[in-house]
């Protein structure tokens, strides 16, 4: 890798090599559209290598051309950067209005299937062409990854804790309403039987006939009062409980979708020298680990969160910011991932010792919702954003390089856990 210079020319910036997961001259990646504005902004701020940092700054200035104006004038995009600047028209499916296709693809809010749909269905030629360019770029990256000597990322998965929880909660939700309706029907039938046995029906009919309008009005008021009281009871008991089940199911589904997004990025940007394990459960442990990644740089545990809103992470502490109030989070992601990393390090201790490797597992928190605002101040574990996940993965330093034998033994040991479950 080239060393940083006090002043970097455009030529030197173009000849600087990019990160490990796409180790090619930045000029080549710039010309083919891979080095988008967001990637260059990330590199200028976060790249470990100062040469890459400086090159990103130079190329970013070069990028500040008239892309946005070009697209706003309705011109047809000719390259990836112009395609990414096109506004995505199907906002009702994403829930986000006025976002560019680049933002939505980085955030994993639109998939290859969505792009294929736009190519066929979009009425605007600008959108159709942009979708074709972006989809072609994504498929090209995947083909390159598959054709590499090391192959593509290996993924071992099991039924996730979230999937099991969704099943359990859905069953509870259905059973709750079933039981509630059954109780109501039993009470109604019992009341009708009682009225039939005691002769209350003829008495009621006689009362209405004698009182005429007044009797009918009285019965109507009684019925309305019963309906009102029944609705009040349902609203504050049954409906509240039902909504609570629904909210829990929604959270688990969002969590599962967040993990899927992370794995999708890993599949695109990591080769066969990496192995990802989803929803790993250690012996005698109840909860699962969202994603464990074993690669040449070591072992990593990822805690995936789909938070929405504004958050703050300082050291080990996490806060939810609501207006001017700071509310401390009960389920602290940093504490969770540290505990998972410590448990996994202990479980793999014999493998580390046998291969003379340092007993260390890296914990990382990933924010899988690109709409979240997360401010960090000296975090005790790294906090990565989904829109920059590819760059973060390529930016992992080689300080804790693992031997191939250590990787193999650890992966075999972790794979065995799935067979034993």
Three-state secondary structure of 45-103: HHCCCHHHHHHHHHHHHHHCCCHHHHHHCCCCCCCHHHHHCCECCCHHHHCCCCCEHHH
pLDDT confidence bin for 364, thresholds 50/70/90: very high
In tens, the pLDDT along 99-131 reads 888 888 877 788 888 899 889 888 888 999 999
Mean pLDDT over 307-329 rounds to: 90
pLDDT value of position 2: 44
Put residue 214 in one of left, alpha, beta given phi > 0 → left and psi -120 to 50 → alpha: alpha
pLDDT value of position 285: 81
pLDDT value of position 365: 96
Contact 49, 40 (CB under 8 A): no
pLDDT value of position 1: 41
Give the CA diameter of the chain. Answer: 104
In tens, the pLDDT along 179-196 reads 666 777 777 677 667 767
- Is the pLDDT higher at 5 or at 75? 75
pLDDT value of position 190: 74
Question: Rounded CA gap, 350 and 357, in Å?
Answer: 10
pLDDT value of position 248: 66
Contact 334, 381 (CB under 8 A): yes
| CA dihedral over 365, 134, 32, 103, signed as positive or negative | negative
In tens, the pLDDT along 217-268 reads 766 777 777 776 766 666 566 556 555 656 666 777 787 888 888 998 898 8
Alpha helices in 148-238, H assignment, sequence order? 161-198, 200-211, 213-233
pLDDT confidence bin for 292, thresholds 50/70/90: very high
pLDDT value of position 64: 60
Only one residue has tokens 């009871």, namely 233
All residues at 6 or more sequence positions from 281 whose CB lies less than 8 Å from its CB, including other chains: 158, 161, 287, 288, 289, 417, 421
pLDDT confidence bin for 305, thresholds 50/70/90: very high
All residues at 6 or more sequence positions from 267 whose CB lies less than 8 Å from its CB, including other chains: 142, 145, 152, 153, 155
What is the chain's mean pLDDT, rounded?
80
In tens, the pLDDT along 52-101 reads 999 998 888 877 665 667 777 778 888 887 888 888 888 766 667 778 88
pLDDT confidence bin for 5, thresholds 50/70/90: very low
Contact 184, 283 (CB under 8 A): no
pLDDT value of position 65: 61
Please state the pTM of the whole predicted model: 0.66
Domain boundaries, the chain: 10-139, 159-257, 260-420
Question: Cα–Cα distances in Å, from 90 out to 110, 120, 143, 297?
Answer: 10, 13, 28, 40
pLDDT value of position 391: 85
In tens, the pLDDT along 329-355 reads 988 999 999 999 999 999 998 888 887
pLDDT confidence bin for 148, thresholds 50/70/90: low
Question: Rounded CA gap, 105 and 111, in Å?
Answer: 7
* Range scoring the smallest mean pLDDT among 161-170, 179-188, 193-202: 161-170
- Is the pLDDT higher at 164 or at 136? 136
Is the pLDDT score of 216 beyond 70? no
All residues at 6 or more sequence positions from 40 whose CB lies less than 8 Å from its CB, including other chains: 56, 59, 60, 63
Is the pLDDT score of 4 beyond 50? no
| % of the chain exceeding 90 in pLDDT | 21
pLDDT confidence bin for 3, thresholds 50/70/90: very low
| Joined tokens for residue 129 | 């062409």
Mean pLDDT over 385-395 rounds to: 87
pLDDT value of position 137: 81
Q: What's the DSSP call for residue 158?
A: -
How big, in percent rounded to 5, are the helix, strand and coil portions of the chain?
60, 15, 25
pLDDT value of position 256: 85
| Joined tokens for residue 378 | 């000296």
pLDDT value of position 164: 60
Could you tell me which residues are beta bridge partners of residue 100?
Answer: 87
Mean pLDDT over 166-171 rounds to: 59
Range among 6-20, 85-99, 139-153, 212-226 rated most confident: 6-20
């Amino acid at each position: 890798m080239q060393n940083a210079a006090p002043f970097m020319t455009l030529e030197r910036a173009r000849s600087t090599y990019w990160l490990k997961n796409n180790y090619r001259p930045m000029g080549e990646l710039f010309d083919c559209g891979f080095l988008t504005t967001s990637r260059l902004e990330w590199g200028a701020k976060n790249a470990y290598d100062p040469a890459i940092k400086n090159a990103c700054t130079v190329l970013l200035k070069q990028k500040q051309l008239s892309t946005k104006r070009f697209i706003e004038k309705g011109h047809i995009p000719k390259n990836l950067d112009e395609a990414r600047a096109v506004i995505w028209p199907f906002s009702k499916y994403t829930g986000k209005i006025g976002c560019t296709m680049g933002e939505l693809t980085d955030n994993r809010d639109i998939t290859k299937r969505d792009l294929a749909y736009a190519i066929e269905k979009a009425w605007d030629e600008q959108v159709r062409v942009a979708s074709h360019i972006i989809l072609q770029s994504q498929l090209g990256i995947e083909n390159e990854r598959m054709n590499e000597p090391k192959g593509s990322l290996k993924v071992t998965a099991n039924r996730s804790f979230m999937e099991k929880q969704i099943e359990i909660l859905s069953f509870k939700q259905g059973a709750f309403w079933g039981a509630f309706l059954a109780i109501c029907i039993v009470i109604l039938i019992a009341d009708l039987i009682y009225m039939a046995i005691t002769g209350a029906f003829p008495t009621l009919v006689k009362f209405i006939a004698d009182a005429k309008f007044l009797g009918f009005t009285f019965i109507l008021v009684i019925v309305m009062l019963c309906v009102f009281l029944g609705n009040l009871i349902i609203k504050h008991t049954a409906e509240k409980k039902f909504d609570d089940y629904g909210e829990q199911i929604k959270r688990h589904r969002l969590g599962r979708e967040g993990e899927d997004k992370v794995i999708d990025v890993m599949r695109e940007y990591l080769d066969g020298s990496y192995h990802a394990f989803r929803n790993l459960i250690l012996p005698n442990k109840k909860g699962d680990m969202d994603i464990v990644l074993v690669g040449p740089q070591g072992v990593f545990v990822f805690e995936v969160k789909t938070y929405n809103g504004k958050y703050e992470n300082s050291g080990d502490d996490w806060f939810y910011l609501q207006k001017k109030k700071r509310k401390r989070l009960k389920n602290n992601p940093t504490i969770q991932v540290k505990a998972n990393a410590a448990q996994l390090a202990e479980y793999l201790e014999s493998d580390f010792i046998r291969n003379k490797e340092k007993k260390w597992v890296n914990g990382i928190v990933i924010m899988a919702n690109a709409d979240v605002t997360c401010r960090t101040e000296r975090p005790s574990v790294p906090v990565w954003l989904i829109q920059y996940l590819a760059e973060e993965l390529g930016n992992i330093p080689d300080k804790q390089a693992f031997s191939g034998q250590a990787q193999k033994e650890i992966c075999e040991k972790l794979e065995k856990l799935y067979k034993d479950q």
